[in-house]
Structure 1
Amino acid sequence: MAAVGECSLSVPWKSVSLTHVEYPAGDLTGRLLAYVSLGPIFIIVGFATLIVFKRELHTISFLGGLLLNEGVNWLIKNIIREPRPCAEIHSSVYSKYAMPSSHSQFMWFFSIYSFLFLYFRMHQTNNARFLDLLWRHVLTLLLLTVAFLVSYSRVYLMYHTWSQDHHRSVSVRLSIFTQEILTPLFPRIAAWPISEFFLIRDTSLIPNILWFEYTVTRTEARTRQRKLGTKLQ
């Protein structure tokens, strides 16, 4: 705790603008959209948690694609160098350039990649095709809605214009690149000594990883339960 008289305003203070989102005071819609626009931050934290506990190559490549997407966005911004529409309102932002929106491009990459994963990698279980397809449709609709809301929030909060928010083609190309180029390399990467040391696994050849993990866990639990029951008799 600073002692009395030690606080000084001789040097201007700045916010950590990477997660700093401003909205008009008293605007409930703006406040909600400001929280929605922080979606990329929550997703990055979620991916980091999944990688630590799951150590699965597909999750790692997904995060790698997101980081590649951010790098391409930074490159495009610094080539075009188009200023933000209301720089006088948002004096503290991570980047002074606005074209294209990194938040929106991040969310559209995430949504498109998830769509490709759900419909082209995961396969339905034999006994629940209708329910399987239903939850995929619902989840895809939810992801696209969130991506649109993030795009809308950046325009509503005056960080970008609609013309600066058109970047879907970049997200589509990067999503397909990550899916088609990296996935075939997974078996080779999983065999590397460093992958074995960190217990990094490849589940790309398993049609439905959720169903696989569920059945394997259930079978193992029942086997151990029977062995424990036999020992107690």
Structure 2
Amino acid sequence: MHDILPTKSNIPPHHTLTSLSLTHVLHSSDIYSRIFAHLTLSPLAITCSYVAVMLTTRDLTVILMLAGQLLNECINFVLKRLVKQARPTEYLGDGYGMPSSHSQFMAYFATYMIILMYRMGASSGSVSPHVVTVLVLIWSSLVVYSR
């Protein structure tokens, strides 16, 4: 039990530690910046939702949507190395900034959701595909703007 607790001798020096920048979002203190900072985390929340829904329902539509989303991320990875455009400022992270992974993620998500809504149609008691389309477009546009 005593060996599990960290001691100064088994903690690595500070310079060997790195940030898990998965959710490292910088923003100013005003309310709009705070809202956009939370919106920029949408791809992470959507990915968690994909996995949760896929594991609980094993729905082929969700599995294909996630597979397409992952392929989209691979395409983004290649495009960043082809375009090689630097980030607007150095403190925003390493790597290239364009095309924005968040923007491309949300564009794929919105496109798939809109197509899915219109293919499914408005079944009795369900939300209109038009309403979902507007909401998804607003959401994805706000994420793109936040980037």
TM-score by length of 1: 0.56
CA-CA distance at 1:137 after TM superposition:
1.4
1:124 equivalent to 2:127? Answer: no
Q: Is structure 2 residue 11 aligned with structure 1 residue 13?
A: no
Aligned residues: percent identity? 35
1:3 aligns with 7
Q: Secondary structure at the match of 1:63?
A: helix
Mapped partners of 2:115, 2:14: distance in 1: 53
Of 12, 20, 27, the residue aligned with 1:23 is: 27
**Structure having the higher Rg:** 1
For residues 122 and 142 of structure 1, what CA distance do their matches in structure 2 show? 17
Structure 1 residue matching 2:85: 3-state secondary structure: coil
Aligned length: 143
Q: What TM-score results when the alignment is normalised by the length of structure 2?
A: 0.86
Query: What are the equivalent positions in structure 2 for 1:1-233 lying under 5 Å apart?
Result: 1-3=5-7, 9-24=13-28, 26-87=29-90, 89-90=91-92, 93=93, 95-119=94-118, 121-125=119-123, 128=124, 132=126, 135-154=128-147
Name the amino acid aligned to 2:122. Answer: Q
- Which blocks of at least 5 consecutive residues in structure 2 are unaligned? none
Residues of 2 paired with 1:40 and 1:114: CA distance? 14
Aligned residue for 1:11, secondary structure, equals helix
Unpaired runs of 5+ residues, structure 1, are: 155-233
**Per chain length, whose mean CA-contact separation is higher, i.e. which structure has more relative contact order (CA < 8 Å, sep 6+)?**
1
RMSD: 2.0
